[in-house]
Amino acid sequence: MYSFDPTEEQQMLIDAVQRYATNDLRPKAHDAEEEGEIPEKLIEKGWELGYLQASIPEEFGGFGERSLVTGVLAAEELAYGDFAGTLAIMAPGLFAIPITIAGSLLQKENYLPEIIGGSWKAYSAALIEPAYDFDPMDLRTVAIKDGEGFLISGEKTYVPYAAEAEKMLLYARMGDKIQGFIISKGMEGVEIGERQKTLGIHALPLYPVKFNGVKVSADNRLGGDEGHAFEPILSSMQLAMASMALGVSRAALDYAIEYAKDRDVFGVKVAQKQAIAFMLAEMATEIESIRLLVWEAAWMMDNGKPEAHRQAYLALTGAADMAMMVTDRAVQTLGGHGYIREHPVELWMRNGRGFAMLNGLAII
Amino acid sequence: MIDFEIPKPIAMTMTALETVAVNMMRPKSRYFDEHEHEIPWDYITFMHMAMRQTGAGSLAPAEEKKKEIPEGKERPRIGYQQLSFMLEMLSWGDCGMYLDTPGGGLGAAAVEAAGTSEQKQKFLARFRGEKPVFGAMAMTESQAGSDTSAIRTTAVLDKDTNEWVLNGEKIFVTAGHKSLCESEGFVVVWATIDPTAGRAGMRAFVVPAGTKGVQVSKLEHKLGIRVSDTASIVMQDARVPFENLLGSAEVIKEPTTKGFKGAMATFDATRPLVAATAIGVARAALEELKKILEKEGVVIRYGLPRQKITAIEREIIDMDVMLRSAWLLIIKSVWMADNRMPNSKEASMAKLRAGDIVNRITQRAVEILGPLGYSREFLLEKWFRDAKISDIYEGTGQINRLIVARHILGYTGRELR
């Protein structure tokens, strides 16, 4: 039976996240972007909202059950505040959520309570590779059997907090499967490069990482001896990106609306011109319809529908296009002012371009 | 709780509807496209019988009888959702032929939206009789399209006989001919009781078949949906009883825009449904396109990055996104209607998005198939022509953008013209 109403608990979470995103994350976004650093206190406050903690079962120290629907609702609200900040707050999830989904019992017991027990700590994942045709289902980083363990070689890019992270998940191709491996700080053969410079999300520290024949023991393969399926992880990454695209787009639309209603032109407000008003109407329609696509994919994931993975792929495809269209038009609505960094729309436009290629930077 | 499961009662009817679409509509699509103004009686008779048996009805779901539902145990309302699915499937069959479905169409929808319960009982009963009966709505005039406040058809009360006397000419009346000439149906005519009052003067009148002074003066020849008749109707001193004015008796005294708002309420209810018909056409075109490509050995590889796929694959994947997201927008807006939530913004969003994507998909489908797409050997060129109406009737894409813009900006019609 169709319903588009979040549950009471979800609504409470949305409200709490929204308050934080609006009152804390957004006001700091500009300086964080310019300085290339997100204040620790800000991240800690976001961490305390307990989004990740609520995705992990009680037996491993959390207080909830993972739901993709809840995940997309919360991620949209967070990203409404700031995309880079959202990625920072959710970085521990890059390690913890795949372990929750696919880890062995031992791995869950070993890692989950520690990650979610205290303050925010840097964790990461290395998925994206520096190739124009990067394909998460066909990685160039390769893991081969080496005695009891594995030997991994390859090159990764855009690894958040690579320099600080205690642990990260490294994704590599093993035969025709994509498998995750647990990498600890300081392991031999892990070569972390200089912090990267990108089009957007300057506030988030990203690094290239080379893996030169890194030896990983058998019990550090995600899922243990059996390994794991990669699709559920990939789809959850796609839906994280897609829902953040919704948040950034909605932020851009709201800002454009507010500006257009305030800006005088030819004796009226610029929003009273159909050329602007129609653009805004199309942006709103685009966001609303793609949001439903994202929700449906998340619902399919939660309910184990066989078409869920294709739907998640379609959702991110649509969301990435939406984000580019909406953020571009938000800049256009502000005209010359939109091009100036005092207004956030140019940042959102730079972020908007990223959703098509940054899949792997977050998971819900 | 957010839920995307198709309600069981709807899922159960879809197979039957698909059978109708496959067996009764598709095989006749080409014939009626090439024989404009012929009437698909086989389809009409079948649908009439089927609808009488199942109790399925007009565009607007009939009000549920309150007696049957024990207090506090109200069943979830899914009437509009059911209609969306039904219309989508029938339009997947043939969106023009769907418009020939008996049962009252937009005329009955207007009675449902603006009529009193006595009027609903009185006027809607005719659709449940032995023979198929049609209903229509007459709004547009040659000088008044989207600007419905500019209509000039007048209604004057003859106090001696307590009858309304209607004068004027309506154009673009869908199923107007079948309502007045091929069955004992009616047309809901929008007219002004005070030409100086603009919208405040507008009222809706039920004009039944057989009313003296009413004549179908023209049948249009169209780009698409040719199997659906589009009539001009002339009224010269046409008289209808006082009670044929839709709404309570007070609506004639009040110099308010209640009548106009009644018309607009009809559109809030029917816009997502018209959008659903667009989705039916879009899905038909996309499925056919995929089928032909598959026969040619083109496999669509989902899940790959864009850098690795062909231009055709990218187009198809984008179409999948458009089709699904537009459909979900419709589902949300009719879910709101079923739950009595104001859905004017969502209804217009659904309509404008569906109008956009059906044209985009059918236009691209014809292009992708090259000479095959342009050929009348396939139905794609027909769907390309059929699609265009979805962005025009029940509010053009531009009118719906205006409505959405007013909502999101918090502007009145005066502030955003």
> Looking at the partner chain, which of B81, B324, B408 has a beta carbon nearest the beta carbon of A314?
B324
With respect to residue A307, please indicate whether it lies within any of the assigned structural domains: yes
With respect to residue A107, please indicate whether it lies within any of the assigned structural domains: yes
A146 and A181 belong to one structural domain: yes
Question: What contacts A196, CB < 8 A, 6 or more positions away?
Answer: A157, A158, A206, A207, A208
Share of chain A above pLDDT 90, in %: 99
Task: Answer whether B128-256 and B260-409 agree in fold.
Answer: no
Count of structural domains, chain A: 3
Closest CA to A126 of A225, A207, A65: A207
With respect to residue A296, please indicate whether it lies within any of the assigned structural domains: yes
Q: Verify whether the Cβ–Cβ distance A3 to B308 is below 8 Å.
A: no
Question: What contacts A224, CB < 8 A, 6 or more positions away?
Answer: A103, A104, A106, A107, A218
Closest CA to A95 of A123, A119, A71: A123
* Residue A317 in contact with partner chain B when CB distance is under 8 A: yes
Give residue B67's pLDDT.
43
Give residue B249's pLDDT.
62
Q: Which of A222-231, B67-76, B235-244, B318-327 has the lowest mean pLDDT?
A: B67-76
Tens of pLDDT, residues B323-381: 999 999 999 999 999 998 999 999 999 999 999 999 999 999 999 999 999 999 999 99
A241 and A193 belong to one structural domain: no
Per-residue pLDDT band for B148 (boundaries 50, 70, 90) equals confident
Tens of pLDDT, residues A235-261: 999 999 999 999 999 999 999 999 999
**What letter represents residue B239's amino acid?**
R
Q: Verify whether the Cβ–Cβ distance A2 to B302 is below 8 Å.
A: no
Residue B65: both structure tokens together:
């009888």
* Residue B341 in contact with partner chain A when CB distance is under 8 A: no
Most B-contacting residue of A10, A139, A288 (CB-CB within 10 A), to test interface: A288
Give residue B65's pLDDT.
44
Residue A47: both structure tokens together:
């961490």
Tens of pLDDT, residues B172-226: 999 999 999 999 999 999 999 998 888 888 899 999 999 999 999 999 999 999 9
Per-residue pLDDT band for B149 (boundaries 50, 70, 90) equals confident
Q: At the topology level of CATH, where does B260-409 sit?
A: Butyryl-CoA Dehydrogenase, subunit A; domain 3 (1.20.140)
Report whether B213 contacts B238 (CB < 8 A): yes
What is the rounded distance in angstroms from the CA atom of residue B366 to the CA atom of residue B369? 5
Per-residue pLDDT band for B60 (boundaries 50, 70, 90) equals low
What is the rounded distance in angstroms from the CA atom of residue A177 to the CA atom of residue B374? 44
pLDDT, mean of residues A336-356:
96
Q: What pTM does this model have?
A: 0.94
Q: Verify whether the Cβ–Cβ distance A257 to B404 is below 8 Å.
A: no
A68 and A160 belong to one structural domain: no
Q: Of the residues A181, A207, A226, which one is the last residue of a structural domain?
A: A226
Taking CA–CA distances from B80, the nearest residue in chain A reads A2
Q: Which of A22-36, A105-119, B101-115 has the lowest mean pLDDT?
A: B101-115
Tens of pLDDT, residues A171-201: 999 999 999 999 999 999 999 999 999 999 9
Give residue A64's pLDDT.
87
A348 and A235 belong to one structural domain: yes
DSSP strands (E only) in B175-286: 186-192, 202-208, 214-219, 230-241
Per-residue pLDDT band for B66 (boundaries 50, 70, 90) equals very low
Q: Give the domain range for residue A111.
A: 8-121
With respect to residue A363, please indicate whether it lies within any of the assigned structural domains: no
- Residue A360 confidence (pLDDT) above 90: yes
Q: Verify whether the Cβ–Cβ distance B318 to A2 is below 8 Å.
A: no
**With the C-alpha atoms ordered A51, A54, A57, A58, is the resulting torsion angle positive or negative?**
positive
Boundaries of every domain in chain B: 8-101, 128-256, 260-409
A212 and A179 belong to one structural domain: yes
Q: Of the residues A67, A88, A121, which one is the last residue of a structural domain?
A: A121
What is the rounded distance in angstroms from the CA atom of residue B307 to the CA atom of residue B389? 36
Tens of pLDDT, residues A4-56: 999 999 999 999 999 999 999 999 999 999 999 999 999 999 999 998 999 99
Q: How far is CA B177 from CA B205, B216, B217, in A?
A: 17, 6, 9
Q: Verify whether the Cβ–Cβ distance A137 to B304 is below 8 Å.
A: yes
Closest CA to A245 of A132, A129, A45, A78: A78
Report whether B158 contacts B188 (CB < 8 A): no
DSSP state of B199: G
* Residue B286 in contact with partner chain A when CB distance is under 8 A: no
pLDDT, mean of residues B285-292:
98
Closest CA to B238 of B203, B205, B209, B214: B214
pLDDT, mean of residues B56-81:
62
Per-residue pLDDT band for B260 (boundaries 50, 70, 90) equals low
With respect to residue A105, please indicate whether it lies within any of the assigned structural domains: yes
> Looking at the partner chain, which of A69, A288, A314 has a beta carbon nearest the beta carbon of B349?
A288
Report whether A359 contacts A237 (CB < 8 A): yes
Give the 3-state secondary structure of residue A174.
strand
A178 and A291 belong to one structural domain: no
Q: Verify whether the Cβ–Cβ distance A3 to B2 is below 8 Å.
A: yes
Give the 3-state secondary structure of residue A161.
coil
Give the 3-state secondary structure of residue A278.
helix
pLDDT, mean of residues A199-205:
97
- Residue B105 confidence (pLDDT) above 90: no
A100 and A135 belong to one structural domain: no
Residue B186: both structure tokens together:
């009616």
Tens of pLDDT, residues B156-166: 999 999 999 99
**Could you give the residue ranges of the DSSP H alpha helices within B125-227?**
176-180
**With the C-alpha atoms ordered B218, B223, B224, B226, is the resulting torsion angle positive or negative?**
positive
Give residue B191's pLDDT.
95
- Residue A351 confidence (pLDDT) above 90: yes
A211 and A245 belong to one structural domain: no
Give residue B114's pLDDT.
83
- Tokens 């179409």 found at: B319
A214 and A130 belong to one structural domain: yes
Give residue B76's pLDDT.
79
Closest CA to B227 of B77, B36, B364, B92: B36
With respect to residue A2, please indicate whether it lies within any of the assigned structural domains: no
Report whether A294 contacts A244 (CB < 8 A): no
Tens of pLDDT, residues A267-294: 999 999 999 999 999 999 999 999 999 9
A179 and A284 belong to one structural domain: no
Q: What is the CATH number of the domain that holds A287?
A: 1.20.140.10
Residue A314: both structure tokens together:
């379609």
Give residue B109's pLDDT.
87
Neighbours of B341 (CB within 10 A): 11
Report whether A190 contacts A242 (CB < 8 A): no
What is the rounded distance in angstroms from the CA atom of residue A285 to the CA atom of residue A319? 13
What residues in B contact A303, CB-CB < 8 Å?
5
DSSP state of B144: B
Give residue B176's pLDDT.
97
Strand pairing of B154-158 and B214-219?
A: unpaired
What residues in B contact A2, CB-CB < 8 Å?
3-7, 78, 81, 331, 335
With respect to residue A364, please indicate whether it lies within any of the assigned structural domains: no
Give residue B263's pLDDT.
65
Q: Of the residues A99, A121, A143, which one is the last residue of a structural domain?
A: A121
Share of chain B above pLDDT 70, in %: 91
* From B88, B141, B182, B394, the catalytic residue: B394
| Active-site residue, B394 included | yes
Q: What is the CATH number of the domain that holds A143?
A: 2.40.110.10
Tens of pLDDT, residues A67-110: 999 999 999 999 999 999 999 999 999 999 999 999 999 999 99
What is the rounded distance in angstroms from the CA atom of residue B38 to the CA atom of residue B59? 23
CATH, domain range B128-256: 2.40.110.10
Closest CA to A234 of A96, A136, A134: A136
